[in-house]
Structure 1
């Protein structure tokens, strides 16, 4: 069992990239924690928190399909390096603005949009590169291990970030994040260059249409893309508005917020291990629907939790369910698509998966100001349960995957 869970680590290039990505993710979570707290401290507004999340994610919705075309035409490793350099520069700039005590909320919003644009091109390139590092039969395990590294970082990053924010301030969180990108850039130099997947250079617009047609003509792929969008639209606001829950509901400070992120991250690691351990399970589509329905129930439970400690239990379990659903859906998408179209198809999936985040954050941020954070999160949970039932009865092919 242990060997099956860590199967992808038998591939040296994957192992190197995993370590670099984990280091960078720790820095990113440190910045996310400090940035969310700084935005809320500057504005005292849930709407601005939602707007920051919206601006960080909306470029992925707008530009990822173009990023997928680039990933199929160019050296995916070089695309990733450029993306990392841009994100590193933004982190350094934010650290400088905070150090000089001249940072304003519009600075943060503009930098979030720039980072999101870089991720719109780096994300498809990374997702298309990973399958080339392992054998096809070990792909779900590799995806699960990537989820685990991301969520190990969600545990370590907020833990270090919470202490750093409390003791030294946001500047250090931003600066450490900037330095962490060097780890990814270094590890990418150790990965052998991959030639572009497309040998025939058709026009960019036509190339984008081919990727969209592939998804349109495949009912299972359409269902998976829709599922990814709805999962993040209604599920991710749980994490986006934790600062509001900590302060408004439980009247606690940044330490409580950091603890909530850590607990959610630990749950997500458990969810990632579950996905890695079930890589040979046949009915992944059905399992993903079970995970989605469970996520909805747990978000509803978090929304009606009577105290802080019950909310932590709900948050732990919700973190596991969210990553289990993400890992299962991602592995199904990767298994369906061929390598020559992987960048384009994964970019559309990325649009759906990441595109749900800004719209969900923006809508929830507006609704929270009118109805309250617990009420909005509970409603999101109920909607996820309803959607799971609709998919189960109307998308039978997905349940059979």
Structure 2
């Protein structure tokens, strides 16, 4: 891209593509609904149990099916219609949202948390097949030179939803109760279903008689053989293991450190989402850089520092600033890593490779949440989260020092 290209045009260049615009809008509306529900669900789980372990368990059960079935989802994404796979995933998640809404409307839970946990698991089942299909579909909506920008724009819609969703969730929860939060999420899936029905998918699944297990092994072999790809997968796992659990435990921080209610929880989520948008915008504004992976690790180092600082802060304005920095760092790191991986993968292998990469990301989230949920009662919220920040610093230092010889760390993909 020419140096004279205006900054605004450079940042939003992926929106030149019709199908990407449609898909982006539908996904954004749906993700807003997801965060509306997540706001109410996290608050309710902690209110029902008064135990941070159940917050971690809820996150873990939501991600467990992705750990179990994501590799199969990747194989199917390379041999089936990706659009139909995504539609099936949306239908499953929509039914779960409406089911939870009905349970609350009819007061069928009776103070029990297990139906919420069970539905989180079924949502994860839908995502385990929809995730690889979406990851494989996204690069086909834009030209290769705009792929990194499209990934950043996709991160922006996700984090824009992180700001709008908790705000709407807080208003709906306060004014109407949890039932409407879950119902709004159910309705939001209609937007992404419509967008999927409108877009034209270029990928045509090849006819193959290869078994599912053989196809899965081919994907894993490709990752092993492709220079620099295995370290990127390991790095993605470590990033989510230690870097993605913070927001899931904000209800504990709000209650035990600041002694406040849902309004403060919503405020911190908004600052986190705003930081993530800034991080994604920064990546979107970049041309294809030399050493994207190395820059991602530097962002991870900054994430560790900000996380440790947030854990030790007892002053709300400082905490808002630090959680803004954590959001910015984690999203910049994740966007850079994902763009590197997508750019070095052939489309015929994309579903399988991205299923492994997504598995690494998704596995780290619930394992980190479960671990943090067990550590908080033992060590306290401050020490536990600061410890995760220190782990991020150590992981980043390892990759910067030991893995610095990898060509992927110095050249653009």
1:112 match? 120
Question: Following TM superposition, where does structure 1 have runs of at least 4 consecutive aligned residues deviating by more than 6 angstroms?
Answer: none
Q: Which of the numbers 350, 353, 358 marks the counterpart of 1:342?
A: 350
SS in 2 for 1:162: helix
1:60-139 → structure 2 map (5 Å cutoff): 60-103=66-109, 104-139=112-147
Contact 1:76-1:194 at 8 Å conserved across structures? no
Q: Which of the numbers 266, 270, 289 marks the counterpart of 2:297?
A: 289
2:54 match? 48
1:222 match? 230
Please say if 1:262 is aligned against 2:270: yes
Q: Distance in 1 between the 2:273 and 2:28 partners?
A: 13
Q: Distance in 2 between the 1:75 and 1:189 partners?
A: 13
Q: Give the aligned CA root-mean-square deviation in angstroms.
A: 1.0
Contact 1:39-1:105 at 8 Å conserved across structures? yes
2:148 match? 140
1:13-32 → structure 2 map (5 Å cutoff): 13-32=19-38
CA deviations 1:234-269 (Å, max 9, x no partner) are 011111100100001110111111111111001111
Aligned-pair CA distance for 1:322? 0.6
Q: Which of the numbers 146, 156, 161 marks the counterpart of 1:153?
A: 161
SS in 1 for 2:94: helix
Q: Which of the numbers 198, 214, 219 marks the counterpart of 1:211?
A: 219
Aligned-pair CA distance for 1:307? 1.4
Structure 1 pair 336/195, CA: closer, same or farther in 2 (3 Å)? closer
Q: Which of the numbers 6, 15, 20 marks the counterpart of 2:12?
A: 6
Q: Distance in 2 between the 1:355 and 1:5 partners?
A: 31
Normalised to the residue count of structure 1, the TM-score between the two structures is 0.98
Contact 1:197-1:339 at 8 Å conserved across structures? no
Q: Distance in 2 between the 1:245 and 1:134 partners?
A: 41
Contact 1:77-1:194 at 8 Å conserved across structures? no
SS in 2 for 1:38: helix
Name structure 1 gaps, 5 residues minimum.
none
Structure 1 pair 219/227, CA: closer, same or farther in 2 (3 Å)? same
Instruction: Name the stretch that deviates more: 160-169 or 132-141.
Output: 160-169
Contact 2:251-2:265 at 8 Å conserved across structures? yes
Q: Which of the numbers 334, 348, 355 marks the counterpart of 1:326?
A: 334
1:58 match? 64
SS in 1 for 2:348: helix
Aligned-pair CA distance for 1:283? 1.8
Contact 2:258-2:314 at 8 Å conserved across structures? no
Instruction: Name the stretch that deviates more: 17-26 or 196-205.
Output: 196-205
Name structure 2 gaps, 5 residues minimum.
1-6
Q: Which of the numbers 378, 402, 409 marks the counterpart of 1:370?
A: 378
Q: Distance in 2 between the 1:294 and 1:195 partners?
A: 38
